[in-house]
Amino acid sequence: MGGLRDTFAEVLHELGKEDPNLVVLVGDISHYRLQPFAEDCPGRYYNIGICEPTIVSMAAGLSKAGFFPVVHTISPFIVDRSFEQIKLDFCYQKYGGNFITAGSAFDYAALGCTHHCYGDFGILKTLPRTQLVYPASDVELTELLRQTYNNEFVTYFRAPMHGHSQKFSKGDIIFGKGIKIKDGKDLTIIAVGSQLETVLNARPRVKEIADAEILYIHTVKPLDADLVRQSLRKTGRCLVIEEHSVYGGVFDDVLRAARDLSGTRYSSIAIPNEFIHQYGTYQEHCQRLGFSVDGIIGKIKDELL
Amino acid sequence: MASDVFNKDLRKKIVEMIHHSGEGHIPSAFSIIDIVAHLYRNVLKVDGKNPRWDERDYFVLSKGHGCAALYVMLEERGFITKDDLMKKSKSEGILGGHPDATRVPGAEASTGSLGHGCGLALGLALGLRIREKDNKVIALLGDGESNEGTVWECGLVGANLQLGNLCYIIDNNGSAAQILPVSDMEKKWESFGWEAHSINGHSQKEIEDVFQKIRFEHHAKPKVIIANTLKGKGVSFMEVHGPWHAKVPNAEELKTIYEELS
């Protein structure tokens, strides 16, 4: 399943034709998908090699030369392997650039932990001048990329293979703004990126036990704290569901944003602080980790109601 | 020894600055000062009054701890002032133990952690080529820095992309030999596909000759100059590895250093 990788290639192709300052560097991934870009934007597409830290440093050099670089590969090779290059070559020196992953936290389920990245938001969040987005549908990726690719920040796009089925229009997608999917009064469910799908699937059963407000977050940093606070003031109960480590994800920022709202009860579904040693499919990993309808119902009943 | 040393005044200035600041790497600056001085006096097209001039050449000091050599040349070319030098490593100053390009006019990269400036220079050279601009990109790396894997990633990529507008200078001052030796540097770079030159990095003539010889051009082999140098070159008791690496001379030592550099 290609997921958003086809969309990513198409958007870059369009942007590349519009903007001669867009340059794409990949670490031998999506090479064939990006051939239309390569053909129509000569001299601005490079399959550099299997040397991600150097790709990131080079991207900073391109930014220094006035380009808007896009680096694309699997998230652990961007975030974990090349963290210091993002930190020092981009953030410290105040260069802007774009990092677009192939996949979410454990989309490469069958390939094992070397290709997983559970803490990307947590560690990138610590760096000044980073913007973190998690577009889990075509329109989100397209709009968020268009809105941010040429600014002076480092923008990290966690582009999953498994999106959600909620339909948004272009106008719904505003960088830094969460989206209220449904009004409710008993509790707030905050779905981040791909896990909106699980929440949508859980709606009929959730409805049986509570009138839930559903918020969707595509921009992880900066978090739309106003939207979160507004909802939690009303419901006083909150469940965050995110394909991220229990450390450093959106849940942490929700707690920070709402720290002065007394009496609120919280729960979250996240990736435990363990490596997922099992292989299998994305869906199997989700079931195992509680990213499921049963997982949501269980959390609501046991911890929030 | 001091008899064959030129750029004595610059060396004195480096020592004075570091003595005053209470922090710095004198030997690492002394091994590169002759080359850096030649670059800023004879090779690089720069304008101290217009640090971000589009037509400038770029010098990236990848071995950031040699920054004292960069700072004295930036002062000579009018990017910064003598007052800036005297405030090095002070909270009110802009110069530190490693350069912060966001604060120092003329410093092209913030370096310190090794193996970063070389990749940034590579991307910059690629960017200038995409724009069909003739600006030179020169990055100075250490031989100790050459223990970093990213240096060799850059070696592969630079050759593969044929970035002939890029030149690395390796300050081969013997540091790596104390740690993890990088032998046959010239052959290594040649085998990676670079146009490699070896020189005595303290010989004015050899420095001049190599930059006469090198042609910066797009779509050609990138260049590398292995500059065989001496850490601490110019002051006899500093020409050793170890004790003087990050030592700041006291008043008595300062006097002796000045005598040797007279």
Q: Which residue of A has its CA nearest to B104?
A: A93
A231: containing domain = 175-304
Q: How far apart are CA A283 and CA A104, in angstroms?
A: 13
Residue A36 falls inside a structural domain: yes
Going by pLDDT thresholds of 50, 70 and 90, the confidence category of residue A285 is very high
Chain A residues with beta carbon closer than 8 angstroms to that of B125 = 61
Residues A195 and A131 reside in one and the same domain = no
**Can you list the positions of beta strands (E) in chain B?**
58-61, 137-142, 166-172, 195-200, 223-228
Residues A246 and A124 reside in one and the same domain = no
- A window 19-38, beta carbon within 8 A of B: 23
- Tell me what the mean pLDDT of segment B140-157 comes to: 98
B55 — contact with chain A (CB < 8 Å)? no
Q: Which of A60, A92, A94 sits opposite B123 (nearest CB)?
A: A60
Q: Domain-by-domain residue ranges, chain B? A: 2-260
Among A97, A123, A157, the domain boundary falls at A157
Task: State the Cα angle at A141 between A192 and A270, rounded to 5°.
Answer: 20
Mark yes or no for CB contact A57/B131 under 8 Å: no
Tell whether the model's pLDDT for residue B1 goes beyond 70: no
Mark yes or no for CB contact B123/A69 under 8 Å: yes
B122 — contact with chain A (CB < 8 Å)? yes
Residue A164 falls inside a structural domain: no
Mark yes or no for CB contact A58/B156 under 8 Å: no
Residues A184 and A274 reside in one and the same domain = yes
Residues A42 and A74 reside in one and the same domain = yes
Please state the CATH superfamily assignment of the domain spanning residues B2-260 in this structure.
Thiamin diphosphate (ThDP)-binding fold, Pyr/PP domains (3.40.50.970)
Residues A151 and A199 reside in one and the same domain = no
Residue B229 one-letter amino acid: T
What CATH number is associated with residue A116?
3.40.50.970
Residue A293 falls inside a structural domain: yes
Chain B residues with beta carbon closer than 8 angstroms to that of A16 = none
Chain B residues with beta carbon closer than 8 angstroms to that of A62 = 123-124, 126-127
Tell whether the model's pLDDT for residue A186 goes beyond 50: yes
Q: Which residue has the tokens 């075509």?
A: A138
Residues A25 and A151 reside in one and the same domain = yes
Q: Which residue of B has its CA nearest to A59?
A: B123
| B193-216 tens-digit pLDDT | 999 999 999 999 999 999 999 999
Residue A168 falls inside a structural domain: no
Q: How far apart are CA B148 and CA B170, in angstroms?
A: 13
Which pair of structure tokens corresponds to residue A22? 């867009």
- Tell me what the mean pLDDT of segment A229-252 comes to: 98
A93 — contact with chain B (CB < 8 Å)? yes
Q: Which pLDDT value is given to residue A215?
A: 98
Q: Are A215 and A191 within 8 A, CB to CB?
A: yes
Tell whether the model's pLDDT for residue A276 goes beyond 50: yes
Residues A57 and A136 reside in one and the same domain = yes
Going by pLDDT thresholds of 50, 70 and 90, the confidence category of residue B2 is very low
pTM of the model: 0.97
Residues A123 and A201 reside in one and the same domain = no
Overall number of domains in chain A? 2
Question: Which is nearest to B165 in space by CA: B77, B45, B67, B34?
Answer: B45
Residue A43 falls inside a structural domain: yes
